[in-house]
Structure 1
Amino acid sequence: MVLIFDCDGVLVDSEALACEIDAQILTEIGLPYQAQDIARKFVGVSFKDMVARLEAEHGCTLPADLGSQIDRALFAKFETHLKPIEGVRETILSLPYPRCVASSSTPDRIALSLQITGLSDLFDHVFSATQVARGKPAPDLFLHAAAQMGTCPEDCIVIEDSAAGVQGALAAGMRVIGFAGGSHCGPEHAEMLQQAGACVVIGRMTDLHPFKEFLTRLDKRRPSRT
């Protein structure tokens, strides 16, 4: 059994910060967005796919340095505001399974997030959507992670906070635990993850402690790869 953790909103409480910065920068370049709009439409989606969707929706070409603009502002915000999800370190250390990270973020952003929050030492294997052709909700990143970890998709459990992530993991033939404990999650977030196909939804990372119970429940609901 291999545990595959998303990063933003699962390991680190970054999504609210990222949505705020994305909305700020997009508004500055003439595409007015609120943070809640970004959260609703783009949480869990790679930057490349977000840009493609924005350009298609608005009939425009976004600045070539948009990613750099966002990263500069976001990384500065991370340095002063980013925190780990409550209880995540202790929970991960309590689970006797191989683990890795599979995130839509860039390698630099993942590395900085884990470093600032003191989680870097927990993961020897970190995978980014930049390493595959298609980001979430496509299955590519999860299949890549499973292959690199030397296991089959059916023996992976993914912990995700976004509908795109849940859908991508299911498409890869994996089981998914939805996480609705990040600061960006509203009262409807758990239901959204359930509707996306998560087998179980938890509101606190410490809910992963009784993991044998989850495995028993999830083993009865092994998905078929689509």
Structure 2
Amino acid sequence: MNFSLPKPDLVIFDCDGVLVDSEVLSCQCLSETLGEIGVEVSIEQVHRLFLGRSTAAVTEYCADRGCPVPETFLPELRSRVRESFKRSLKPIPGIGALLPSLEAPCCVASSSELDRVVLSLALTGLAQHFGDRLYTAQMVARGKPAPDLFLHAAAQMEVAPARTLVIEDSVSGVTAAKAAGMTVWGFVGGSHYVSRDGRAMLKDAGADRVFDRMADFWKDEEHLS
């Protein structure tokens, strides 16, 4: 196995784009909701600007451009995402088989709000693998790309950062994990990477390894086709 550490004592999973194939759905919802308040941001721009980041990054972006979001913006976005997920959300292929095979404890560390993470895991049948081991950006002072969330998750799980493996699909998430002193593997198997060179982006951000199938999670890179 191609580890940068002998064997992790904890595996931290991001949620969107790693456990559930949600990024295309959520980017579409965000682009539409921003458009309704007069902020035209394409789905491609949403992906580039906000992938792996919390809604605070969105509101800051709008405020910096002289268009502070109305009070109705976040409730409307949450409602739109919830309905989209209920219609179309699927788990990442292979994740349901991988999670029970992990020898180390695992948890979730997501930039999404807790109720969205809970909904995502419930809809895709993955909740049983995590219980209440769910940590979100609302629990820390700074979200990704700051290391706070990953450090908080490791502290709650009582595992040293150096003994922790993070699975991330975004540049901000990879940056945060590396800043936390953790090993991080980039995952590019979500549908939002079908037409993008995610491998190069995550490698450039510092990912120790990049892979695109959960079935290859434990395989050495040199043995991958």
Q: TM-score with structure 1 length normalisation? A: 0.91
* Separation in 1, partners of 2:58, 2:164: 27
The residue number in structure 1 matching 2:14 is 6
User: Aligned to 2:166, which of 147, 153, 158?
Assistant: 158
Establish whether residue 75 from structure 1 lines up as the match of residue 82 from structure 2.
Answer: yes
Question: Residue deviations 1:95-114, cap 9 Å, x none?
Answer: 21100000000000000000
Check conservation: 1:103, 1:128, Cα contact below 8 A: yes
Question: Residue deviations 1:132-151, cap 9 Å, x none?
Answer: 01000000000000000001
Q: Give how far 1:53 is off.
A: 2.1
The residue number in structure 1 matching 2:212 is 203
Check conservation: 1:95, 1:209, Cα contact below 8 A: no
The residue number in structure 1 matching 2:202 is 193
* Separation in 2, partners of 1:198, 1:175: 8
The residue number in structure 2 matching 1:221 is none
User: Aligned to 1:26, which of 16, 21, 34?
Assistant: 34
Q: Give how far 1:50 is off.
A: 2.1
SS at match of 1:173: coil
**What letter corresponds to residue 79 of structure 2 in structure 1?**
R
The residue number in structure 2 matching 1:36 is 44
C-alpha root-mean-square deviation of aligned residues, in Å? 1.1
Q: Quote the sequence identity (%).
A: 46
Which sections of structure 2, spanning at least 5 residues, go unmatched?
1-8
* Separation in 2, partners of 1:166, 1:15: 16
Q: Structure 1: which 4+ aligned runs deviate by more than 6 Å?
A: none
Q: TM-score with structure 2 length normalisation? A: 0.91
Which sections of structure 1, spanning at least 5 residues, go unmatched?
215-226
Q: Which has the higher relative contact order, 1 or 2, with Cα contacts under 8 A spaced 6 or more apart?
A: 2
* Separation in 1, partners of 2:83, 2:178: 34
